[in-house]
Amino acid sequence: MNWQVMIESLPALAEGALLTLELVAVSGVFGLMLAVPMAMARVSPRGWVKALPMAHIYFFRGTPLLVQIYLVYYGSGQFEAIRSSFLWPYLSEAYWCAIIAFTLNTSAYTAEILRGALQAVPRGEVEAAEAVGMTPALIWRRIRLPRAFRIALPAYSNEVILMLKGSALASTITLMDLTGVARTIIARTYTPMELFLAAGLLYVLLTFLILGGFRLLEKRLNRHLQPR
């Protein structure tokens, strides 16, 4: 065990951990923004409304994240039409390719989680809202969505943690995330045990941070259930 190499690598690994956290946070926010309307369309009784989100969810849940990253990164570079379009300044950056792939991937899973939560909102509460004369839009805003978020939260925290670990694949498209930094240092020192162990510990630390954040959020959202 070479402790020296582990300690010396810590600053570089910490920098990689920051990029990892940033990738998860940015794609998490974008993913959630996509997932909410998709889940709302997904629970629609009308076939043509739910067709598009269903296709999206099937594709991104049915293919490996690595394949999706390669499709966005190497796939987009193959077409002259894309390379000369306004999209290329973004698609030429590995960072945005990773964000796009992660966003699309997590939005599919999150939409499914929200779909389940929306269907779990007690019928009676929606009926009560209708009975007092709320418009459908108001029922979505005041009853269905807030209730669904609360129900979905534990499952959603799981998805964010899976995303954190999935983000290690960003290292395959030249990004220097936590795994990328570890692999690049190993290329010089040939100490995979030490570096992957250090990187693993940092991943555990990030997981605890995320879990802690969700615990606080859950407490706040369910404060009406707390004993006074």
Residue whose CB is less far from other proteins, 140 or 196: 196
Q: Please give the C-alpha separations between residue 211 and each of 105, 127, 226, in angstroms, as whole numbers.
A: 21, 35, 20
Q: Which is nearer to other proteins, 143 or 168 (CB)?
A: 168
CB of 17 to other proteins, least distance (A): 19
The Cα 109–Cα 177 span in angstroms is 23
Cβ-based nearer residue to other proteins, 115 or 183: 183
Question: At its nearest, how many Å lie between other proteins and the CB of residue 95?
Answer: 12
Report the distance separating Cα 210 and Cα 228, nearest Å.
Answer: 27
- Tokens encoding 157: 């925290």
What angle, rounded to 10 degrees, do the helices at 3-42 and 178-189 form? 150
Closest approach of Cβ 77 to other proteins, in Å? 3
The nearer residue to other proteins, 152 or 170, going by C-beta atoms, is 170
Distance in angstroms (rounded) separating the CA atoms of residues 158 and 182: 25
Min dist CB 212 to other proteins, Å, is 34
Distance of CA 224 to the CA centre of its chain: 28
Residues making contact with other proteins (CB under 8 A): 74, 76-78, 83, 92, 94, 172, 174, 183-184, 186-190, 192
For the CB of residue 9, give the shortest distance to other proteins in the complex, in Å.
Answer: 15
Asked whether 143 and 70 are in contact (CB, 8 A), the reply is no
Identity of the residue, 189 or 207, whose beta carbon is nearer to other proteins in the bound complex: 189
Which is it for the CA torsion 108, 110, 111, 112, positive or negative?
A: positive
Taking the least distance from each CB to other proteins, the nearer of 92 and 158 is 92
Confirm if 94 and 79 have CB atoms less than 8 A apart.
no
